Amino acid sequence: MGFYKQTTDLDLGETSIENIFINDFMPQADGTAVKVYLLAYKYSQEVTQRNITHQKIAKELNIPLEDVHRSWDFWASKKIIRKIENDEDYDIEFLSIRQMIAKGLYSGQSQTREKSKSHINMIEASKSPEIRKMFYEIDQIMRRQLVPHERNIVLEWLYEQNIQMDIIIRGFKYCAEIRNVKHINYVASVIRGWHDKGIVTEEQLDEHFEEMNSHYKYYRQIYDLMGYGKKLPSAGDKEIMDKWLDQFKLEMPFITQVITELSKKTSNINMNYIDKSVETLYNQGITTVDGFNSFQSQSTSTQKKKTQKNQFHNFSQREKKYSNEELEKKLGIRK
């Protein structure tokens, strides 16, 4: 004997969400974080759906897995979920907002003040060309636009911790291009680490990288010559530059001279183009500034001699002279 409830082919059930979540918390989040929360919350109420993974959430919502983890970090910062670490990953425990209110752990008024403060910061940011430019550069680095709560985190670095915009941009570049990590929490930990070490200017940051890598200052000089600005060197480019410095034992004045001259010949200069030229010179035994200048002079002299020999100079005048009668016959005037 038993009692059973008929199952249906379609999911026609319903999921109950606390109004406090909708009224107070949902307006602070971006759409992705809300979708992640609601779908996982639905699964948390279904006994048969206990083995749902973050990967499954990402697949069902058609979003990157990174966005799922980012969403959980956001909700954890709001203290309405708890991340429970396990051997392989972490589980999510949804906390009762009503119980938090009953225990005095949450006040809607304080939450509103926090939201208003962020709102004011965003209004101030929208009026500042420098801050708009900073967010534009960060969006380019991240290959996506920062969502509102991520922008608020960045604004906290500016307003509350007085971290320079250049340091923030360099932090995003370092994490995305060198560490290959674009998670906002990872960027925050890197920038916070720099701040704790007393690194508050770009000059200090350069010195920090120089201590980590003796070649770093040379990377920056070479990239500046190539017009790459503050872009951080890629792994492939560092390998090429290390070859010049360590294997070929080339000095920076020589490298600088070569890049400067190559820049005059093409507007589309790149590392592979420079590397081929440097390696050709090295194989010919040209490794100093004097040697390169001598090579340039010889090349210029040879080029001038070639340009002097044109079709006019190669023309050989005929020696034979024709009479009037012979010329008229050649022209068909006289037979």
**Is-above-0.75 flag for pTM?**
no
2 burial via Cβ count (<10 Å: 0-12, 13-18, 19+): exposed
Give residue limits of the domains in the chain.
Answer: 19-106, 109-209, 213-310
State how far the alpha carbon of 305 is from the alpha carbons of 127, 190, 292, 308, in Å. 62, 59, 20, 5
157 burial via Cβ count (<10 Å: 0-12, 13-18, 19+): buried
- pLDDT in tens for each of the 335 residues of the chain? 355 555 555 555 677 888 888 887 887 777 888 899 999 888 887 755 567 888 889 899 988 888 888 889 888 888 888 888 877 788 888 888 877 776 666 655 444 444 444 444 666 667 778 888 999 999 999 999 998 888 888 988 887 777 889 999 999 998 998 888 889 988 998 998 888 888 888 888 888 887 666 777 788 889 888 888 767 778 788 899 989 988 999 999 999 999 999 988 887 888 999 999 999 999 999 999 998 988 888 877 666 666 555 544 554 555 555 566 665 565 555 55
- Structure confidence at residue 277 (pLDDT): 92
Coil, strand or helix at 85: strand
The Cα–Cα gap between 178 and 292 comes to 34
- Structure confidence at residue 330 (pLDDT): 54
Coil, strand or helix at 267: coil
- Structure confidence at residue 107 (pLDDT): 56
Helix or strand run (H / E) with residue 159: helix 148-159
Determine whether domain 19-106 maps to CATH 1.10.10.10. yes
